[in-house]
Amino acid sequence: MNTYLVKWPDGSVSVVQAYDETDLYVRLDTEGDPKCAFIKKIVGDDPFHLTFNIAKQGEEQFIDADLSEECDDVKLKKFSFRKDMFIKYLARITNTSVKHIKNLPQNKVQEIKDGLGLE
């Protein structure tokens, strides 16, 4: 299982564990739009300690996170979803195959997105 540090546009932060990229997308979708999140994968097998810093910039409050210096073997690695991630996500939540979703006409995919309240 992989662990991810997720920063949302509103400044809030989540630490999420997921089995794979699709599982991460599904888990993040319960909180907000996964495509809007800034995600870092926490890489390493050693225990880690995250320090969260709450700061204010103008009227906006934001949260920053850093690994403690004692965690030399653990790194924060930038993470991005693959381009076909949304197709895999649709296949999982509709309980169909990726091939089936890819073969749908574009207007049908858009209907599904609209039904889910997605862009």
What band does 112 get if pLDDT is binned at 50, 70 and 90?
A: confident
Give the pTM.
Answer: 0.61
User: Which residue reads 């997105």 in tokens?
Assistant: 113
Structurally, how many domains does the chain consist of? 2
The boundaries of the domain holding residue 106 are 82-119
Strand, coil or helix: 48: coil
Q: With beta carbons less than 8 A apart as the criterion, state whether 78 and 85 touch.
A: no
At residue 18, φ and ψ (nearest 5 deg) are: -145, 150
pLDDT digits (tens, 9 = 90+) for 44-88: 777 766 666 666 666 655 555 555 555 555 566 677 777 778 888
75 and 90 part of one domain: no
Amino acid type, 22: T
The torsion region of residue 58 among left (phi > 0), alpha (psi -120 to 50) and beta comes to left
70 with 118, same domain? no
